[in-house]
Every structure is written in structure tokens, then in C-alpha cells.
Amino acid sequence: MKKYLSLALAAAMAFSLAACGATGTSAPAGNAADSTPAASTPADAAPAEGGEAGAATGTLNVGGIGPLTGGVAVYGLATMQGAEIAVEEINALGGLQFELDFKDDTGVAETAVNAYNTLKDSADVIYGTTTTDPCINVAAETFNDRFFQLTPSASSTAVTEGRDNVFQMCFTDPNQGASAADYVKDNNLGESIGIIYNNADAYSTGLRDAFVARAAEIGLNVVEEQAFPDDNTPDFSAQLNALAAANVDLLFMPIYYTPAYNIVNQAQAQGFAPKYFGCDGMDGILDIEGMNPDLVEGLMLMTPFNASATDAATTSFVEKYQAAYDGLPNQFAADGYDAMWALYYAANAAGIDADNMSHEDICEALIATFTSGDFSVDGLTGSGMTWSAKGEISKDPVAVRIENGVYVTM
Amino acid sequence: MQFLSNLIGGVSLGSVYALIALGYTMVYGIARMLNFAHGDVIMVGAYVVFFAFCSGGMNPLLAILIAMAVCTLLGVTIERIAYRPLREAPSLAVLITAIGVSYLLQNGALLLWSANPRAFTSVVSIPPISLFGGRLTIPGNTLVNVVVCLVIMVGLWLFVNRTTPGHAMQAVSEDRGAAQLMGINVNATISLTFAIGSALAAVAGALLCSSYPMLQPTTGAMPGIKAFTAAVFGGIGSIPGALLGGILLGVIENLSKAYISTQISDAIVFLVLIVILLIKPTGLLGKKRVVKV
Amino acid sequence: MLQRIKTMRSSTRSNLVTYGIVLGFYAAVQLLNAAGLLSSAFIGQLVPICAYVMLAISLNLTVGFLGELSLGHAGFMSIGAFSGVSFWMATQGRIPAWLGVLCALVIGAVCAGIFGLLIGVPVLRLEGDYLAIVTLAFGQIIVNVINALYIGIDARGLHISLKDAASLNLAEDGKVIINGAMGITNIPKASTFTLGIVLVVLTLAVVLNLIHSRAGRAITAIRDNEIAAQSIGINLTKYKLMAFIISAVFAGVAGVLYALNFTSLVSRRFDYNTSITILMFVVLGGMGSIRGSIIAAAALTVLPELMRSFGMESYRMLIYAIVLIAMMLFNSAPAAIEWRKKTAQKLQGVWAAHKKPAGTGSGKGAA
């Protein structure tokens, strides 16, 4: 009951903020209209339409897909919940309405295709999927059926490769792995670098491959690599022993925060204390209920999103998220939130008439807008985000360091 | 030195497998069924300890006692509703039902406690032991795991071999029909087995998450399979076998990670298992059943 | 014709019914599809259903007829899928598609069969749960090794590595076929429902013929009493291996069919959970009942998808678990079987009692 009440309050707040935003589109940046992304962005997002928000009409049916059950449910739920917050805000604006129908794929390709087939009779655009392998399969379907697809978090290049209709809200793996290597080199973070990665996970191996390739190019000294076969593997003592024996002083961890927490915990028990460097999958490590902040003190990561940032857009999102779902949002949720707003701005810029246009027409119109070159979105995970014709996003990774239990931008 | 350190890591991991395997073997030995939901009962036990101790601030021993009570209740209820009606059915039917129960517990936990991982605070507050001037560290958890394992093993062995309910269990295990004729209440005996097995699961859950702190609804699944392997490895149904199998499995796993490959460590562990079973087809300490025509 | 059906052996009649169910299903789907009455979701599941039916039938041979518990059936599926699809990818554009599919299916079958032999020879000496754990171990080994496997092809031939794609040292024109955890991507789909049904019928033909042959009777004799079977001169190893290898071969074929229905193929798809799911079909359908396997595989594949339509996305898997337990209890519990018999008798009684007065009643009305 409390949840619904707070949800209603959040909605009301969103409405009041957004209403002020909608009327303030022509106002200069930096005034009250800046308090949510809804307020500031229509002006930037739809320059082609002369900054007029609300050019799109009708109800856009967004078919969402991601794991709500099974071993990777935590990521799917986050992408769904982040999107739900945005949908609530968008619908409160009046104008174009979003209807998000989110289906469970349990993280399995076959189930994701089933979910897509269930959605395709009613959806106008596809949002998802959360994880890479299901996303590749759904992307092949949407490409044939001509649905516009935006994934919040499937970061492999195999997702968008050769498909003009698929766009990513997250960094690609090669892009992120290479910039991580560059960052380590430029800031002289480590002399002998170790890597630990999940060799059964496409995301983790993708980042590792890109990091290693770039490290060789720019002369980073990678002394030891260790792998593990499953995020549910609890024990890392052998890997940590090997890394310690190689005198690793910086450990690159292109993995999710759940195994990462087990690793830092065990490293401490074994008396091994390198500097840690993670990627966007590491975001969320501070939000684990009951976690010990001392273990991750000094840990560095590249993340597009910082839940403890104090800008108005982030605080508003975090408040609403906490009220609705208990717990802090991570970058999956933030990418989901931004994905919905990106869709909204693009739909407005393209003047989508959601009730009367076919999904094929919506797809072509949105592709044209996303790749037009002057379409950019300001969101929680970056400002001035643009997309290439390949569907890959361009946004600046931000490196942060954990100090006293919060992110500090480096 | 590094070898010793890897060995200790293996014993630490193995002692957790052994704790879980003891529960498996107990239920298998008496009720003759593979209780695939055992790993998930462990997960429930860990959640109970988490809420009572880690976020509730209760005394850790009291928290574990509460978890044991909850798991016992859960285990006996599962047995009553899902397994007992199938007592006379083919054993595979019970196996599939157990898998259904496992799905039920995992998805129930997902809805009840959400998919967000939780970080478990160790229930063990013994400081690590430092040897050879700090070059070798034995974590406190490892010591506690091994001691608890041994205590439980000896306790179970004494219970099964020296007490009346224990003898009843052996009789049920040997020949259910004959046991009934001798006036043993088979249903009550099997319920008791599940009660003990599930109470052990709560202890295993607390110690599993004390060593490896990430707690999620799927936490029990992977160690559950490994422990099942360990139980078979040691000779399923044999109580000392479960301990031996668990520790050996952990050591083999850690050493193959350290000296062969981390990428295919699981493959190596299972390969060793296959080879050992081919040499000793009933596990390390398992009894050969003589089949009469 | 009718006379012939009446006089034929009961097993032959039962087989005809099984074929009839499969072909009837095919015809019904084609008709309903032509009339536009099928949902996209259901159409999308047709090929996986065929694959699962094949897997269930083939596993039933090991579990139901040979009486050995196997927890690694997905391992054979995985070997079939990866070998067949690797060939399919390597020969893209070089040979006609129909030939490519055919070769992929044959290669998948042969590779899975070879592994069936390799595993079967040592393992079938084990008994009961020990055999189960070894098959489980085999499945996990396959998952783990393929996860770490990199295979590429270029003008110089095949390159294999267990480290990463970069260590393949491919020439400029080379392409990576199996890319570790990413598996095989961008697979041109080739599976169709018709192909699936053809393969299901083929599986049925082989398995049903085997069961009703001399070899099949030997296999069931081993299940019922190994020592007795041995004492009358049945070669245990030969017949055990025969059942195990045929089972593996069709799992491999099903793997190829399944994999060619998707754009990507990853090793983790064929883990222990998939083996368990296939076992679930067999047990729920009734061990030793081919028809039961078919129906259970189809029904349990469609069930979780059907539950989506009731608008309970997050409760879906919970309810699936409850339904599974309830079905097992209803199907296998002695008490439930007793109750079902009694109820059936009672219903028959009611029906018979109802029929008489109703008959006379209508007679009166007519008069």
C-alpha cells in the first residue's frame, strides 16, 4: 500500500516537474526547467522540429524483453524498473503516451524469441533485451520484421552488426575495453596488470579481449590473466593466489558486481590488496544490501551512471526509484530510463503518429531520426549522446573512484 | 608455499561442499531419493540467517538456531506434501518432483526477497591464522567449516549407529517393508531424516554465505550440484564418504584451477570424477550392493 | 481396411496411433495456420517443440527402455548442434542450402553418436545413481569445454584454440566460427516445421522399430532384470550400447534442428538444466511410453508461454513449478492413481445409469 502511495506521489511530482519543463522548452538552460531530463532535453533533442515537444501523438506500444526470473533476473528487473519510471514521467506530460509491456525471457535466447513473438502482434517498437545472447536472436527477428529496437544493456557488437534497426543505449564492449586500457595507461594506474574475467560470459570476454588488444598496442604490462566459468562460482582463492604471486598491482575486473564482491571479499581474507578497476557492470556494488564499504574503498570503475550524483535529474530519478522499488538504481536501471526518454524524443522529433502508423513506418522514421546526426539526448548516463549508423552510442565514459562509500569522479 | 595456500583454499571450499553433501547423503541413505531441492533449502536457511543476524543484529548462534527451525519445518512440510504421496512410485517420479520443489523455492525466494543480491556478514568472528611470517594465511572461516564438518559427521554417525531412532533409520534404509513389519513407523522415520537433513542445510547455508558472501535466490543451485557430485564421489549414503568426497572435490577443483587452467577447471574436476568412478564404481567409501535374483 | 486394423497386433495399432498423433498435429497446424488462427508465439515454438519431442523420445530409450538414468542428454544435443552448425557456417555459399542442412544433420548425428560410444563404453558398467552422476559430469564438461573453445577457418584450414580468438592467428580472409562464450553467431536459419516433423517421424520410425524388435526385447529384459537377462545369454554391453548410442544420435540431430532455428548458439544453453527439462518430459509422459513423451514434451514447452497470456509475467515460473509438482503427484502417486480409477468407474457408472433413462426419455418424447 505504501508502495502505491509513494508511486502516486512520485507520479504527481513528476507531473508537476514535467509540466514546468514542457512549458519551459524555450527557456535557457540552467534555470528551474533543468530539474529533470524531461525539462531540458526536448529543446536539444528535437532541434529539427524547432524545439517543439509533443509533435508525436497517440499511444506508443513498447514491447520490453528481459530476464525477470532465473539467474540474471536482477539485471532484467533493473532495466524494466528504470524504464517504468521514465514511462510514468512521459505519460504525465500528456502528448505522446507510452504503454510498456515487459515480458520475461529468463536470460535464454529461445524464451526471448518466444517473448518477442508474443509481443510482435501488439508492439510498435521493441525495448530490450537485457543480455547479449537473447538480444542477438531478437535483433535478427526485429530486423526481418522491421521493428525499431533499442537495447538498454546488450553491449556486444554482434547485437547491432549488419542490422540498421537495432540501437544500443550502453557502450559497446570493444569501445569500453579499449577506453579502460587507455585510461589505465594515461593515468598511470598500474605497473603490472592482472585480469580476472568470466570466460563463459559474452560481455566479460568481449571487454577482456578489447582490453588485452589495446594494452598490447599501447604498451600496458599485463602480467597475469585468470578466468572463472560462472557468475555463481563462489570460490576464487586459486585465481587470487596466482594473481598475488604475479605481483599484480592493478586488477582489471570486466565483470558484474556480484562475483566482484565475492572476489574483493576473498582477496582481503587472503591478504591480497591490489588496486581494482572495473567497468559499467561493476556499478551496483555499493547498493548491495549489507555490504561492507571498506572492502571496496578505492575501487575504480568506468560507469556512465552515478547514483550518488547531486544533479537534479539523478536525484529525482533515484528518489522515485527508491520510493517505487526499495533500493538504489544501478546503471541498468539508468540505461533503461534513458532508453525510454531517447525513444520519446526521437518519436517527437520524427513526428510519430503512434496510433495510425505501422510498426514498419515507425521503424524507418526512428532510424532516420536516430542516425540523423543532429539528434542528441541528454540523460542520466551522459549528455549529448548520439548514435552512429551502426546503432552504437557515443557517450563519454566517466571514471569514478569509491571513497567513503560514494563515487568520486576522477 | 603457494601450493599450501591453494591446498588450504581447496579444503575451505571442500568443507562447504562436504557440509551440503552430508545433508544429501543423509536423505539419500535413508529415503533412497535424490533431493534436488536440498541446495535451495540451504538458500532459504541463509536468507533466514541474513535477516536475523546480518540485518537484524541478533546473536549469530541464535540466528542459526532459528534458521534450523525454519528449515526443519520447511523440509518436513516438503516431504509431507510433495514426496510422501510418491513413496511407492518409481524413484524418478520423486526426482522430478524434487526438481519442481527446487524451482518453487527459487522462484518463491525471487518474489519474496527480490533478485537483488545481499552481502552476508560472516557469522564467524575468529581471526585468520598467520603462518610462516604472514606468507600463509588460514582464514577463520576455513577453520570453523572444517571443525563443524567433523562435529556434524561424528554426531550423525553416532546418531545413526548408537541410538534407537538411528537404528530405525538403518532398518528403513535396508528394507522398508521388513522395517514396517518390525513395528517401525516408516513415515515418522523418514520425516525425521528430512528434519535432520534440513536442519543441517541451515547450518550449511550460514557457513556457505559466511565464506562466500553473495546471497541470491540462485545461491544454492551451483553448490548444490557440486555437493551432490561430492556425495556420489564419496559413496552416496555413506556419512564419512560425504565428508571425504566434499573435501577431495574442493581440493581437486582448486588445484586444477591453480595448475592446469581456470577456463576449463570444471571440465577437469568432472573428468577426474569420471575416472575415479570408473576405477571405484561405488564411490570412495560406498558399499557394493549385492543383488540376488 | 477396418478388418485389418482390428486383426493387427496391438503394438502395431498403438504405433499407428502414435504416428497419427504426429501427422494429425502437423495437418492441424497447417490448416489452422492457413486460416490465420495461430498466434505468432505458437508458430515460433513449432521447431523447438519438434526438437524437444525428438529429445524426449530418444532419452526415453535410455531411461524408459534401458532403465538407466541419464542426466547429460543436453551434452549430446550440444555436440550435435555445434558440430552440425560449424559445418553449416563453414560451407555457407559453397554448397546448396538443402545439401548443407542435410550434411549438418548427418554430421551432428555422427558426432553425437561417436561421443555416445566414447562415453557409453566405460560408463555403462556403472549402476544407478553413479551412472547418473557420470552423465551429469559429461554434460558439464561439454558445456565448459565448448565455452572455452575457439575455432576459426581460413585458406590454410581449421584453427583451434582454448585461449581466445586472437590466438587463432587467422589470415586476413579467415573467419571465427566458434567464438568461446559468444558461441556461433549470425547463423542463417534453416529449420522449418516441416523439416522438424520429418525428423520426428524418422526418430519414431527408428525407435519404435527398435523397441518391437528382438534387440528391443533384449533391452527391456536388461531393464527388468539384468542378471536374469545375462543368464539367458543376452549380451549386456552390446544392447546397452546400442540403446545409448541411438539415443545420443537422435539427441545430436535434435540439437542441429534446434540450433538452425536460432541466430546464435551458445554452450550454456545446453547445461544441466536442459538435461533435467528433457528428463522431466520423459518422466511426466511416463517412462517407456513414447506417446507420453511426445505429448509431455509438447505440452510442457507450450505451458510457460501460455501462462504469459494470463498477465502474470513475474509469477509465471512459480506457477509452472506448482503445476509441475501437481502433475507429478496426480500422475504418479499411488493414491492419485487409485482415485482416478475409482472416479473413472464412477463416471462410467453414472454414464451408464444416465444413458438408460435418457434413452427411454427421448423415446417417450418422440412418441
The secondary structure of C153-164 as a DSSP string is EETTEEEEESS-
Instruction: Name every chain C residue with its beta carbon within 8 A of the beta carbon of A359.
Output: none
Q: Any residues with CB less than 8 A from the CB of A162 and at least 6 apart, and which?
A: C186
Q: What is the pLDDT of residue A33?
A: 36
Q: What are phi and psi of C160, to 5 degrees?
A: -130, 140
pLDDT at residue number A301:
92
Inter-chain CB proximity B96 and C328 less than 8 Å: yes
Which of A138-142, C256-260, C275-279, C310-314 has the lowest average pLDDT? C310-314
- A283 touches C: beta carbon within 8 Å: no
Do residues B120 and B47 touch, judged by C-beta distance below 8 A?
A: no
Which residues of A are less than 8 Å from C147 in CB distance? 199-200, 229
Q: Which structural domains are found in chain A, ordered by start?
A: 2-171+311-395 (3.40.50.2300), 174-303 (3.40.50.2300)
The residue-averaged pLDDT of C331-337 equals: 86
Q: What is the pLDDT of residue C361?
A: 42
Question: Mean of the pLDDT values across residues A142-156?
Answer: 94
The predicted structure's pLDDT at residue C6: 66
Spell out which residues of chain A touch residue C165, defining contact as CB-CB under 8 Å. Answer: 209
pLDDT tens digits, one per residue of C132-152? 888 999 999 999 999 989 999
Domain B2-279: assigned CATH number: 1.10.3470
Using a CB-CB distance cutoff of 8 angstroms, which residues of chain C are in contact with residue A212? 164, 166
* Shortest Cα–Cα distance, A389 to chain C (Å): 19
Residues of chain B neighbouring C322 (CB-CB closer than 8 A): 100, 104
Chain A residue closest in CA terms to C48: A110
Contacts of A271 in chain B (CB under 8 A): 134, 137
For chain C, the average pLDDT equals 89
For residues B179 and B171, the answer to whether their CB atoms sit within 8 Å is yes
* A8–chain B Cβ distance below 8 A for any pair: no
Which residues between 60 and 99 in chain A have a beta carbon less than 8 angstroms from any beta carbon of chain C?
Answer: 68-70
Q: What is the pLDDT of residue B284?
A: 84
- Nearest CB to A237 within list B12, B120, B218: B12
Which chains have 3+ CB pairs within 8 A of B?
A, C
Hey, are the CB atoms on A289 and B116 less than 8 Å from each other? yes
Low-confidence winner among A27-41, A212-226, B67-81, C289-303 (lowest mean pLDDT): A27-41
The predicted pLDDT at position A38 comes to 42
| Nine cell digits for residue C285 | 509422459
The per-residue pLDDT for B290 is: 57
Cβ neighbours of A266 in B, within 8 Å: 212
Is A202 in Cβ contact with C40 (below 8 Å)? Answer: no
pLDDT for res C251: 97
CA distance A193 to chain C (A): 18
> According to the model, what pLDDT value does residue A81 have?
95
Are B265 and A229 within 8 A, CB to CB? yes
Instruction: Report yes or no: C353 at the B interface, CB cutoff 8 Å.
Output: no
- Contact yes or no for B85 and C276 at CB 8 A: no
Residues in A touching C144 (Cβ below 8 Å): 200, 229
Question: How much is the pLDDT for C355?
Answer: 65
For A267-285, what is each residue's pLDDT tens digit?
988 888 999 999 988 988 9
Burial readout C204-231 (b: 16 or more C-beta within 10 A, e: otherwise) = bebbbebbeeebbebbbbbbeebeebee
Q: Which tens digit of pLDDT belongs to each residue from A209-256?
A: 999 999 999 999 999 999 998 877 788 989 999 999 999 999 999 999
Contact A249, A191 (CB under 8 A): yes
Give chains near C: 3+ CB pairs under 8 A: A, B
pLDDT band at C201 (very low <50, low <70, confident <90, very high): very high
**pLDDT above 70 for A53:** no
ipTM field: 0.89
CA distance C283 to C96: 40
* CA-wise closest residue to A45 among A305, A386, A364: A386
The pLDDT score that the predictor gives to residue B24 is 87
Task: Give the pLDDT score at C367.
Answer: 35
Q: Is C227 on the interface with B (CB under 8 A)?
A: yes
Chain C interface includes A261 (CB < 8 A): no
Q: In chain A, positions 21-60, which contact chain C (CB-CB < 8 Å)?
A: none
Q: Compute the Cα dihedral for A324, A329, A334, A335 and give only its sign.
A: negative
Q: Delimit the domains of chain B by residue range.
A: 2-279
Q: How far is B170 from chain A (nearest CA, A)?
A: 35
pLDDT at C313: 78
Least confident of A64-73, C111-120, C162-171, C260-269: C162-171
> DSSP characters for B137-172?
EE-HHHHHHHHHHHHHHHHHHHHHHHSHHHHHHHHH
Which chain A positions have a beta carbon within 8 Å of B144's beta carbon?
Answer: none
Q: Mean per-residue pLDDT for A335-356?
A: 93
* C-alpha grid cell, residue C350: 453414472
Task: Say if residue C365's pLDDT is above 70.
Answer: no
The residue with greater pLDDT, C124 or C111, is C111
Check CB contact under 8 Å for C262 and A109.
Answer: yes
Which chain A positions have a beta carbon within 8 Å of B40's beta carbon? none
Q: Do C269 and A110 touch (CB under 8 A)?
A: yes
Determine whether the interchain pair B85/C287 forms a contact, defined as Cβ–Cβ distance below 8 Å: no
**Whether the Cβ atoms of residue A198 and residue A282 lie closer than 8 Å to each other:** no
**Pick among A201, A225, A237, A243 to test the B interface (most B CBs inside 10 A):** A237
Tell me the chain C residues in contact with residue B82 when contact means C-beta distances shorter than 8 Å: 325, 329
Cα of A81 to nearest chain B Cα, Å: 13
Is there a contact between B262 and A290 if contact means CB atoms under 8 Å apart? no
Look-up: residue for cell 529449420?
Answer: C191
CB contact under 8 A, A241 and B6: yes
Q: B130 has which bridge partners? A: B137
- Bridge partners of A194? A224, A251
In the A/B pair of chains, how many CB contacts fall below 8 A? Answer: 121
Which stretches within chain B are classed as H helix? 2-31, 38-49, 60-78, 91-113, 140-162, 164-174, 176-181, 186-211, 221-234, 239-259, 265-279
Confidence at A29, pLDDT banded by 50, 70, 90 = very low
Q: Report pLDDT for C5.
A: 64
Q: Do C122 and B228 touch (CB under 8 A)?
A: no
Question: Could B118 and A290 be called an inter-chain contact, meaning their C-beta atoms sit closer than 8 Å?
Answer: yes
**pLDDT mean for each 10 residues of chain B (293 residues):** 86 92 88 88 95 89 95 95 89 89 94 90 83 77 91 93 92 88 92 93 94 91 88 86 93 91 88 87 75 50
Q: Do B281 and C329 touch (CB under 8 A)?
A: no
Q: What residues contact residue C290 under an 8 Å CB cut-off, 6+ apart?
A: C18, C57, C60, C204, C207, C208, C211
Segment 165-204 of chain A within 8 Å of chain B by CB:
199
Give the chain C residue nearest B270 (alpha carbons): C137
Say if the Cβ atoms of B232 and C324 lie within 8 Å.
Answer: no
Least trusted range by pLDDT, from A194-208, A364-378, B119-133: B119-133
